Amino acid sequence: MLDDFREWLSDNLRYILLGVAIVLVAVIIICAVRLIGGSSKKNDQSAKQEQAVVGENQENVTEAAASGSELELTKDDTAILTLMKEYYTAIAANDTAALSSLVDPWDDLSKEHIRFSDDIESYNDISTYSAAGINDGEYVVFNSYYSKIKGIDTLVPTMVVVYVKTAQDGTLKIYSYEDRDTAVADYVTKVSSQENVRELISKVNNEYQQAIASDSALASYLNGEKTTESGDAGTAAAGSSMVSKADLNIRQEPGTDANVIGVVPSGETVEVVAQADDGWVQINYVTQAGTVTGYVKSEYLTSASGSTVAETSSTSGTAAGSGTGTQDTAANGTGTSSQGSVQLTSEGDGSSTAA
């Protein structure tokens, strides 16, 4: 009997092993399918959870805006504060290599909006106040700092606003949104009008007024020098060319309450059209998109032959002034105005726009 079984086993062993192998392969395939399916479901669930976080954040922002409630401001978040200190250190040093790693995207449009000033020695005592951005990992950041101007002891209180995003590698980057993302620009404007933000601006405004009241040299610098020489804008004939001494708002009508229809960057040439009342002049400013005709304060124009460019263009965009009150001058990128209203620039280089 045993001999018969051994003989049968010997004759059929290869078939038995083949069957066992088929069973093992089937088991492996079943386990692999279940493993892949479970992983896929887990990934889908993670993705849905991530989308839910973003959606919840957007919903909170929308509800806050609709109800009139305010987004909470976080002071000196460690990662955000570190980013801003690195950013302003790079601005003060004109370090474009460092800026390229801090600003995203770093392209020609971004470079056009960063402004360097030879007059600013440093940006001191930087503080940040951040609110939730449109999506998870994004922030509206209000930077408060004190600009040190060469040759002037008193520091200039300043506040600017930037938008920050979390990059794919997890690092924070300053998002150059001006002229490329109207949704972000509109959102920043809304957050800037919150009462808690306006309180911050008011605080900086008060410090600014105290600074210029205590230092006549600072007051003169921030107000700019009004030339009375023949050929300045006050006496320039129609058709003459003038140069802007600061980033200069072009307004639809002569007056700081009129709508801003464009900006003349510092050092750009304009054509005088006609004189207006109260120190305003009508000008033509030629851009790639066409010619902008409007009104600017004549005190911020100088004759083309004797002009000096205080700043060179390179990420901030035009001054938004959201929730800041009037938008009058700031000399050489301090971010403050000649009439004491803190100027919120759109991407945080500290520059601001005149009149």
Residue 95 has pLDDT above 70, yes or no: yes
User: Taking the C-alpha atoms of 292, 293, 299 and 302 in order, what is their torsion angle to the nearest 10 degrees?
Assistant: 70
Q: What is the pLDDT of residue 187?
A: 92
DSSP assignment of 9-20 equals HHHHHHHHHHHH
pLDDT digit string, tens, across residues 171-200: 999 998 877 888 998 999 899 889 999 899
pTM as predicted: 0.54
Query: Distance of alpha carbon 312 from its chain centroid, rounded?
Result: 18
- Of all residues in the chain, the percent with pLDDT exceeding 70 is 64
In this prediction, residues 80-96 reach a mean pLDDT of 93
The DSSP letter of residue 354 is: B
The DSSP letter of residue 252 is: S
Q: Count CA atoms within 13 Å of residue 182 on its CB side.
A: 0
Q: What is the pLDDT of residue 53?
A: 45
d(CA 208, CA 337): 9
Do β-strands 301-303 and 241-244 pair in parallel, antiparallel, or remain unpaired?
A: antiparallel
Token pair belonging to 311: 């700043």
Residue 296 has pLDDT above 80, yes or no: yes
